[in-house]
């Protein structure tokens, strides 16, 4: 039996989402990683050994942002706002999001996006995305590109140089 299915057989069937340890760090290299201390991600999909898609419970504290503005070539993304107020920033502009609102980003659509919490209170949302073995992520506002090969990420400049 594959390890993840074995984990599912032995692991929890249900749990309190807030019992999953939150991660404040960013995988961005160097100076790009700064400024994400106000973002807390709880990898709910990992807690259940899910392989086809990832699910995160994300908290953005006031002033925090979800990520650098980006888009994926091979991974769909979906968010659903649970609590609080967020601003969705895309190539088309800005849109206010509140509880019960959702947004989706189809793979291969070049529309850089991210969420920003400009309110005075924390905001909470679910983030769901494909787990493709390979992907390329473009960051339209900075000289950065992420490439995933066989499940491992590496960052380069847009021209491919380190």
Residue 161 lies inside a defined structural domain of this protein: no
86-135 pLDDT, tens digit per residue, is 999 999 999 999 999 999 999 999 999 999 999 999 999 999 999 999 99
Backbone angles phi, psi at 66, to 5 degrees: -75, -40
What local confidence, expressed as pLDDT, does residue 35 receive? 83
What local confidence, expressed as pLDDT, does residue 137 receive? 98
Structure-block tokens of residue 22: 């939150």
What is the layout of strands, in order, in the sheet containing 22-23? 22-23, 39-43, 53-60, 123-130, 77-83, 102-105
More confident residue, 162 or 81: 81
Q: What is the CATH number of the domain that holds 90?
A: 2.60.120.10
Residue 65 lies inside a defined structural domain of this protein: yes
How many domains is the chain partitioned into structurally? 1
Residue 162 lies inside a defined structural domain of this protein: no
86-90 and 93-97: which strand pairing?
Answer: antiparallel
24-64 pLDDT, tens digit per residue, is 999 999 999 988 999 999 999 999 999 999 999 999 999 99
What local confidence, expressed as pLDDT, does residue 19 receive? 96
What local confidence, expressed as pLDDT, does residue 1 receive? 40
* Whole-number Å distance between alpha carbons of 76 and 135: 11
Q: Who contacts 147 (Cβ-Cβ below 8 Å, separation ≥6)?
A: 135, 136, 137, 153, 154, 155, 156
């Amino acid at each position: 039996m594959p390890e993840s299915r074995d984990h599912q057989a032995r692991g929890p069937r249900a749990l309190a989402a807030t019992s999953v340890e939150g991660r404040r760090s960013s995988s961005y290299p160097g100076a790009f990683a700064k400024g994400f201390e106000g973002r807390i991600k709880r990898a709910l999909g990992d807690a259940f050994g899910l392989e086809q898609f990832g699910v995160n419970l994300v908290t953005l504290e006031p002033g925090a942002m979800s990520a650098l503005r980006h888009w994926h070539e091979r991974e769909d993304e979906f968010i659903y706002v649970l609590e609080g107020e967020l601003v969705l920033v895309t190539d088309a502009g800005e849109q206010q999001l509140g509880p019960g609102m959702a947004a989706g980003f189809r793979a291969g659509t070049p529309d850089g996006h991210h969420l920003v919490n400009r309110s005075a209170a924390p905001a909470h949302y679910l983030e769901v995305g494909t787990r493709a073995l390979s992907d390329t992520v473009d960051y339209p506002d900075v000289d950065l590109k992420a490439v995933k090969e066989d499940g491992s990420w590496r960052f380069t400049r847009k021209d491919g140089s380190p």
